[in-house]
Structures are given as structure tokens and as C-alpha cells.
Amino acid sequence: MSTPESKVKTKVSALLKKHDAYYEMPVPTGFGKSGLDYTGCVAGKFFVVETKAGNKLPTPRQLITMQKVRDAGGRAFLVNEVGGLDDLEIWLKWVTEGK
């Protein structure tokens, strides 16, 4: 059974593969530091992606994590069913193709 969030993750994964990005999808286990749905690197640029169903937004903890990544010089993206995928694709093209 496919959930709305898993459909978003399928689109994000396909886009990352298209641009030959290295990425991991950490599995929350309750041990260690929690992260976002995707952690990756492409063309030497570090990024994270949080996916959500519908038009949901990140939790306060997720927002803090996203800001810490930005503060460290990485990129953080929110992709849900209503937006964000285009922003990720534009950035990936810019990083990998200079477009």
C-alpha cells in the first residue's frame, strides 16, 4: 500500500538518481541523532530533504535541523504534494549542469 508521503519520496528518489546524487534515507530507530528523510551530496554540495504528505510542514525539531544544515553551508529542502520538487530540481540542475 502506497502512502501519500511514499509517493512524494518516490518522486524525490527518482530526481536524485537522475542527477547522480549520493543519498541515504536514514531509518529512525530511537537511537542516536534523528535526521530528515534524505541526507545526500551531489557535486560536492551537501543537502537534506524532508518530505511530507499533502501540504504538511516540518515539525519544530525538523525545522531546527534544516536551519542547522543551512548554517553549516548545506541546502535544506521541503518537498510535499503541493510543492518543493521544482525547487529541488532547479538546484540540482544548477549544481550538476551549471543551469
pLDDT averaged per 10 residues, the chain (length 99): 87 97 84 84 97 94 95 97 95 91
Question: In residues, how long is the chain?
Answer: 99
Q: pLDDT at position 24, please?
A: 95
**How many structural domains is the chain composed of?**
1
Q: pLDDT at position 44, please?
A: 96
Domain residue limits at 74: 4-97
Dist CA 5 CA 67 (whole Å):
22
C-alpha cell belonging to residue 94: 544548477
- Show Cβ contacts of residue 33 under 8 Å, excluding neighbours closer than 6 positions: none
Q: pLDDT at position 59, please?
A: 93
Provide the b/e sequence for 20-50 (b: ≥16 CB within 10 Å). Answer: ebebeeeeeeeeeeebbbbbbebeebebbbb
Kindly report the CATH number assigned to the domain that includes residue 72. Answer: 3.40.1350.10
